[in-house]
Protein backbone atom coordinates (compact mmCIF):
# COMPACT_ATOMS: atom_id res chain seq x y z
CA UNK A 1 0.00 0.00 0.00
CA UNK A 2 2.79 2.46 0.91
CA UNK A 3 4.51 1.71 -2.41
CA UNK A 4 1.34 2.58 -4.35
CA UNK A 5 1.02 5.89 -2.48
CA UNK A 6 4.69 6.70 -3.13
CA UNK A 7 4.27 5.93 -6.85
CA UNK A 8 1.18 8.19 -7.01
CA UNK A 9 3.05 10.97 -5.22
CA UNK A 10 6.05 10.67 -7.54
CA UNK A 11 3.87 10.69 -10.66
CA UNK A 12 2.07 13.80 -9.38
CA UNK A 13 5.44 15.52 -8.86
CA UNK A 14 6.60 14.46 -12.35
CA UNK A 15 3.37 15.71 -13.95
CA UNK A 16 3.73 18.98 -12.07
CA UNK A 17 7.35 19.38 -13.20
CA UNK A 18 6.32 18.61 -16.78
CA UNK A 19 3.61 21.28 -16.61
CA UNK A 20 6.00 23.78 -15.03
CA UNK A 21 8.53 23.17 -17.82
CA UNK A 22 5.83 23.55 -20.49
CA UNK A 23 4.66 26.88 -19.03
CA UNK A 24 8.23 28.16 -18.59
CA UNK A 25 9.12 27.17 -22.17
CA UNK A 26 5.97 28.87 -23.48
CA UNK A 27 6.86 32.13 -21.74
CA UNK A 28 10.46 31.72 -22.97
CA UNK A 29 9.39 31.03 -26.54
CA UNK A 30 6.94 33.91 -26.66
CA UNK A 31 8.74 36.59 -24.64
CA UNK A 32 12.36 35.73 -23.82
CA UNK A 33 13.61 39.11 -25.07
CA UNK A 34 10.86 41.06 -23.29
CA UNK A 35 11.05 42.73 -19.90
CA UNK A 36 9.79 40.95 -16.79
CA UNK A 37 6.50 42.84 -17.26
CA UNK A 38 6.26 41.51 -20.82
CA UNK A 39 6.85 37.95 -19.62
CA UNK A 40 4.32 38.51 -16.83
CA UNK A 41 1.71 39.65 -19.37
CA UNK A 42 2.23 36.51 -21.47
CA UNK A 43 1.93 34.46 -18.28
CA UNK A 44 -1.32 36.31 -17.53
CA UNK A 45 -2.76 35.17 -20.87
CA UNK A 46 -1.88 31.55 -20.04
CA UNK A 47 -3.43 31.99 -16.58
CA UNK A 48 -6.60 33.60 -17.93
CA UNK A 49 -7.09 30.98 -20.65
CA UNK A 50 -6.66 28.18 -18.12
CA UNK A 51 -8.96 29.87 -15.58
CA UNK A 52 -6.08 29.80 -13.09
CA UNK A 53 -6.21 25.99 -12.84
CA UNK A 54 -2.80 24.30 -12.93
CA UNK A 55 -4.31 21.15 -14.43
CA UNK A 56 -5.21 23.26 -17.52
CA UNK A 57 -1.87 25.06 -18.01
CA UNK A 58 -0.23 22.44 -20.19
CA UNK A 59 -3.36 21.95 -22.34
CA UNK A 60 -3.59 25.71 -22.90
CA UNK A 61 0.09 26.02 -23.81
CA UNK A 62 0.00 23.09 -26.23
CA UNK A 63 -3.37 23.85 -27.86
CA UNK A 64 -3.01 23.91 -31.66
CA UNK A 65 -2.23 27.28 -33.25
CA UNK A 66 -2.31 29.21 -29.98
CA UNK A 67 1.35 29.85 -29.12
CA UNK A 68 3.77 30.15 -32.01
CA UNK A 69 6.58 28.51 -30.05
CA UNK A 70 4.76 25.13 -30.17
CA UNK A 71 4.29 23.20 -33.42
CA UNK A 72 2.46 19.89 -33.17
CA UNK A 73 3.11 19.82 -29.40
CA UNK A 74 6.87 20.21 -29.96
CA UNK A 75 8.84 23.25 -28.86
CA UNK A 76 9.97 25.03 -32.03
CA UNK A 77 12.23 27.73 -30.61
CA UNK A 78 15.88 27.69 -29.51
CA UNK A 79 16.26 26.33 -25.99
CA UNK A 80 17.78 28.56 -23.31
CA UNK A 81 21.57 28.49 -23.36
CA UNK A 82 22.35 28.88 -19.68
CA UNK A 83 25.99 29.66 -20.46
CA UNK A 84 24.80 33.03 -21.82
CA UNK A 85 24.01 35.59 -19.11
CA UNK A 86 20.97 37.06 -20.94
CA UNK A 87 19.48 33.62 -21.53
CA UNK A 88 20.13 32.68 -17.91
CA UNK A 89 18.33 35.80 -16.63
CA UNK A 90 15.39 35.40 -19.02
CA UNK A 91 15.03 31.69 -18.19
CA UNK A 92 15.08 32.50 -14.47
CA UNK A 93 12.14 34.90 -15.02
CA UNK A 94 10.24 32.24 -17.00
CA UNK A 95 10.75 29.58 -14.33
CA UNK A 96 9.84 32.05 -11.56
CA UNK A 97 6.58 32.96 -13.28
CA UNK A 98 5.72 29.32 -14.02
CA UNK A 99 6.40 28.44 -10.37
CA UNK A 100 4.17 31.26 -9.12
CA UNK A 101 1.43 29.99 -11.41
CA UNK A 102 1.82 26.37 -10.29
CA UNK A 103 1.82 27.42 -6.62
CA UNK A 104 -1.34 29.51 -7.06
CA UNK A 105 0.51 32.68 -6.03
CA UNK A 106 0.18 34.34 -9.44
CA UNK A 107 -2.10 37.34 -9.96
CA UNK A 108 -2.67 38.22 -13.63
CA UNK A 109 -1.51 41.71 -14.58
CA UNK A 110 -4.33 42.14 -17.11
CA UNK A 111 -7.59 40.50 -18.12
CA UNK A 112 -6.42 39.38 -21.54
CA UNK A 113 -6.77 36.04 -23.32
CA UNK A 114 -5.29 37.17 -26.63
CA UNK A 115 -2.15 38.92 -27.83
CA UNK A 116 0.06 39.30 -30.86
CA UNK A 117 3.33 40.88 -31.85
CA UNK A 118 2.90 44.65 -32.13
CA UNK A 119 4.44 44.68 -35.62
CA UNK A 120 1.52 42.81 -37.18
CA UNK A 121 -2.29 43.20 -37.28
CA UNK A 122 -3.97 39.76 -37.43
CA UNK A 123 -7.53 39.55 -38.75
CA UNK A 124 -8.90 38.33 -35.42
CA UNK A 125 -7.79 41.45 -33.53
CA UNK A 126 -9.84 43.92 -35.58
CA UNK A 127 -13.03 43.60 -33.51
CA UNK A 128 -11.36 43.13 -30.13
CA UNK A 129 -10.65 45.69 -27.43
CA UNK A 130 -6.93 46.36 -27.00
CA UNK A 131 -6.08 46.48 -23.29
CA UNK A 132 -2.38 47.23 -23.38
CA UNK A 133 0.81 47.33 -25.38
CA UNK A 134 3.65 45.88 -23.35
CA UNK A 135 7.08 45.69 -24.93
CA UNK A 136 6.63 44.03 -28.33
CA UNK A 137 3.09 42.71 -27.84
CA UNK A 138 -0.49 44.01 -27.91
CA UNK A 139 -3.00 42.42 -25.54
CA UNK A 140 -6.75 42.10 -26.11
CA UNK A 141 -10.02 41.14 -24.51
Burial of 12 from C-beta contacts in 10 A (0-12 / 13-18 / 19+): exposed
pLDDT given at position 17: 61
Q: Which strand ranges, in their side-by-side order, compose the sheet holding 114-117?
A: 114-117, 137-140, 130-134
How many Å apart are CA 45 and CA 90, to the nearest integer? 18
Instruction: Note the maximum CA span of the chain.
Output: 57
Reported as a single tens digit per residue, the pLDDT across 73-124 is 999 999 999 999 999 999 999 999 999 999 999 999 999 999 999 999 999 9
How many Å apart are CA 30 and CA 24, to the nearest integer? 10
Residue among 128, 135, 125, 98 nearest 21 (CA): 98
Amino acid sequence: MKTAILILMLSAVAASADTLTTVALTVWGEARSESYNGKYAISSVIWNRSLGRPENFKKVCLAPSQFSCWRHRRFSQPMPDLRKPLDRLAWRDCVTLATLMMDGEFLPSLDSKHYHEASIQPYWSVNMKMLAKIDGHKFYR
